[in-house]
Structure 1
Amino acid sequence: MKQTIRFEYEAQYHLSQEPTFDEEEIWLVLHGYGQLAEFFVRKFHPFFSPKRLFVAPEATNHHYRQGFQGRVGANWMTRHERETAIANNHRFLDALLGQILDKYPSKPTVHVLGFSQGAATATRWASRWQGKIATLVLWAGGFALDMSLECAKEAFAETQLILALGDRDELITPDQLQKQEDLISSLNKEILRYSFAGGHELDAELLEKIINQKK
């Protein structure tokens, strides 16, 4: 007989710098499968600013990337106990961003970027979060197919949605692209699309364009 128990759990996150709580922007950046937040947040180093805080939560599921030793990576979920992992992710991100925002006398603008598996995780969470998200960037990934469309339409009504994809991304299949197009059509909202020369990776030039909102 299977049962569950909920208990206090400690999770980690990494910041671009010590917050002053005078920052005007917060970028919540969610890493992809097999990555660690410590190294993921470093990819945004060129865009660190006293007025901009990057917050990189680390997924709470960890695994050895090869075999039974060596480098460790984190993932947001697997097929095993998938729904439980999703609910845990939501509680984690709610608590993290809530605690940070509570310390700001003047609320900063919130932007969210999800990379690869982090993109689907970002859309599930952002579509049900009670706060306002100015920009949602899905990089080398897309909307979670099980995301509630009705919730998403309401949550993203005033959110700029951006898709960024490398033209040689070997992990994105034509079937996945078609499913995303079908979902986007159902959202009935304008999507800003960017393509860059590269694979399943972040591109510094395009990242700068998006973060600095240069169109």
Structure 2
Amino acid sequence: MKTSIQFPYEAHYYLSNEPSYEEREIWLVLHGYGQLAEFFVRKFKTVFSPDRIFIAPEGTNYNYLEGFQGRVGANWMTKHERETAIANNHRFLDTLLDSFLEKYPHRPTIHVLGFSQGAATATRWASQWDGKIDTLVLWAGGFALDLNLEKSKSAFRETEVILAVGSADELITSDHVIQQEALISSMGKDVLRLSHTGGHELDAGLLEKIINRKK
């Protein structure tokens, strides 16, 4: 007989800097499969600014990247106990972002960037969060295919959505593109599509263009 129990769980996140709670922008950035937040947040170093803070939560599932020892990576979920992982992610991200926002006397703009697996995680979470997402950047990934369309239409009605991808990204297949375009069409959402010449990676030049345009 299978049953479940909820208990307090410790999760980790990394910041670009010590918050002053006077920042005008919050960027919640979600890493991809097999990455760690400590190193992911460093990819945004060229756009660190006193006016913005980057919050990089770390997926709570871990695995060795090769064999049974060596480098470890984090992920947001696997097919095993998938729904439980999704619910845990939502509680983690809700609690994390809300704990920051309650300390700001004036609401900063909220921008979310999800890379690869982090993109689907970002869309699932953002579609159910009570607050408003000003910008949603889906990089080398896309909307989760299991999103509730009606709820997502409402959640993202005032959100600018940006899709970023490398022209040489070997993990973005034609089937993925077709699925995403169909989903976007069903949502009736206008999106800004941007690209760079690299592969499955964050391109520094395009990243600076996206983030600095939000000033």
Q: Shorter-chain-normalised TM-score: which range? A: over 0.9
SS at match of 2:32: coil
Counterparts of 1:148 and 1:47 in 2: how far apart (Å)? 33
Figure out how many residues of one structure are paired with residues of the other and give that number. 214
> What's the CA shift for 1:185?
0.5
Match of 1:93 in 2: 93
SS at match of 2:128: coil
Counterparts of 1:149 and 1:166 in 2: how far apart (Å)? 27
Match of 2:185 in 1: 185
Counterparts of 1:40 and 1:104 in 2: how far apart (Å)? 25
Instruction: Say whether residues 1:46 and 2:43 are aligned partners.
Output: no
Counterparts of 1:67 and 1:29 in 2: how far apart (Å)? 28
Counterparts of 1:14 and 1:103 in 2: how far apart (Å)? 18
> What's the CA shift for 1:65?
0.4
> What's the CA shift for 1:189?
1.4
Letter in 1 for 2:27: W
Match of 1:8 in 2: 8
Match of 2:173 in 1: 173
Superposition TM-score, scaled by structure 1 size: 0.99
Gaps of 5+ in 1: none
Give the 5 Å matches for 1:11-26. Answer: 11-26=11-26
Letter in 2 for 1:81: E
Q: Deviations over 1:115-150 (max 9, x none)?
A: 000000000000111101110000000000001111
Superposition TM-score, scaled by structure 2 size: 0.99
SS at match of 1:53: strand
> What's the CA shift for 1:213?
1.4
Counterparts of 1:189 and 1:28 in 2: how far apart (Å)? 22
Letter in 1 for 2:151: C
SS at match of 2:213: coil
How large is the RMSD of aligned CA atoms in angstroms?
Answer: 0.7
Counterparts of 1:10 and 1:114 in 2: how far apart (Å)? 22
Match of 2:207 in 1: 207
SS at match of 1:94: helix
Give the 5 Å matches for 1:23-38. Answer: 23-38=23-38
Counterparts of 2:47 and 2:31 in 1: how far apart (Å)? 17
> What's the CA shift for 1:71?
0.3
Moved over 3 A (4+): none
Counterparts of 2:33 and 2:142 in 1: how far apart (Å)? 14
> What's the CA shift for 1:212?
1.0
Instruction: Say whether residues 1:63 and 2:38 are aligned partners.
Output: no
Counterparts of 2:173 and 2:94 in 1: how far apart (Å)? 32
Counterparts of 1:107 and 1:160 in 2: how far apart (Å)? 18
Gaps of 5+ in 2: none
Mean CA deviation greater in 168-177 or 23-32? 168-177
Instruction: Say whether residues 1:158 and 2:158 are aligned partners.
Output: yes
SS at match of 1:127: helix
Match of 2:112 in 1: 112
Counterparts of 2:176 and 2:192 in 1: how far apart (Å)? 18
Counterparts of 1:49 and 1:172 in 2: how far apart (Å)? 32
Counterparts of 2:177 and 2:3 in 1: how far apart (Å)? 38
Letter in 1 for 2:112: V
